[in-house]
Structure 1
């Protein structure tokens, strides 16, 4: 073992660094007031086609605490990006859905992200992407199964 740690640790270190670089690039172009966390919620709903989810389901999906997701959702509701209503089956629970304004904001964010994505695309060959994407999807799927 080198001083860099075991290979699996090195893998996660590289992924973490890539994530930091991507988030910094993305955050710099998002519309004023929009955070990565808020964009992630909007993207989750639209990408997966969810009509509604509870804050607990969202917290589980993002691997964050309920208070963290609740705080993010409250800011998004105030901005009109999501609607939060009582769950008709459980009066104590809430259901969250993305609004038309939220879908529109996601599209605006995607337009703004075109620059950083184009920059990354310019330095990553099609062959590299074709090799990495299935491998990373496999790693994600396997790690996702570990949390069940």
Structure 2
């Protein structure tokens, strides 16, 4: 009888996908009214990789259509989380910058997510989580670098 077990690569990405869904639900339960996980994603991206980037560059980073990202960015502007300024290198486009409120909301959400991890942190101590991070970071960096080749 042939081995019908899925490959470990499938199982890995399946688990990561499920973890993403569950962690997003945890985050969304703590977001202020009217904010979505996509808004937090933009704030987190700008803090992590830097501000002053274009909507198209952010859309590419999130691998979503520009129209989808434009909608997300509009929500962020509406909530006062980001501002769009003229692109000094191309007057036809804009660059995205965090507002003080956007930075604070992001910091508040990171803190809220951490406080919501009580049972998780008891079951998975920090050292166990930290042991996973190098391999996960390496996988993300590999996939990020190869995104246009996949």
Q: Tell whether the structures are fold-level matches, with TM greater than 0.5.
A: yes
Distance 1:70 1:4, change over 3 A: farther
Aligned pair count? 147
**Which stretch shifts more, 74-83 or 102-111?**
102-111
Q: Any gaps of 5 or more consecutive residues in structure 2?
A: none
Q: Distance in 2 between matches of 1:122 and 1:87?
A: 47
Distance in 2 of aligned mates of 1:104 and 1:125? 27
Give the distance between the partners of 1:112 and 1:32, measured in 2 at CA. 14
For 1:125, the equivalent position in structure 2 comes to 125
How far did residue 33 of structure 1 move? 1.2
Question: Deviations 1:40-96 (Å, cap 9, x if unpaired)?
Answer: 111111233x23110011111112111111101011111111101222322221111
**1:15 is matched with which residue?**
16
List runs of 5+ in structure 1 lacking aligned partners. Answer: none
- Checking the alignment, whether the CA contact within 8 Å between 1:4 and 1:10 is kept in structure 2 is no
Runs of 4+ in 1 over 6 A off after TM superposition: none
Q: Contact 1:30–1:113 at 8 Å: present in 2 too?
A: no
1:67 aligns with 2:28: no
Aligned residue in 2 for 1:96: 96
Structure 1 segment 1-148 matched on structure 2, within 5 A? 2-48=3-49, 50-148=50-148
The root-mean-square deviation of aligned C-alpha atoms, in Å, is 1.7
TM-score, normalising length: structure 1: 0.89
Q: Distance in 2 between matches of 1:65 and 1:35?
A: 18
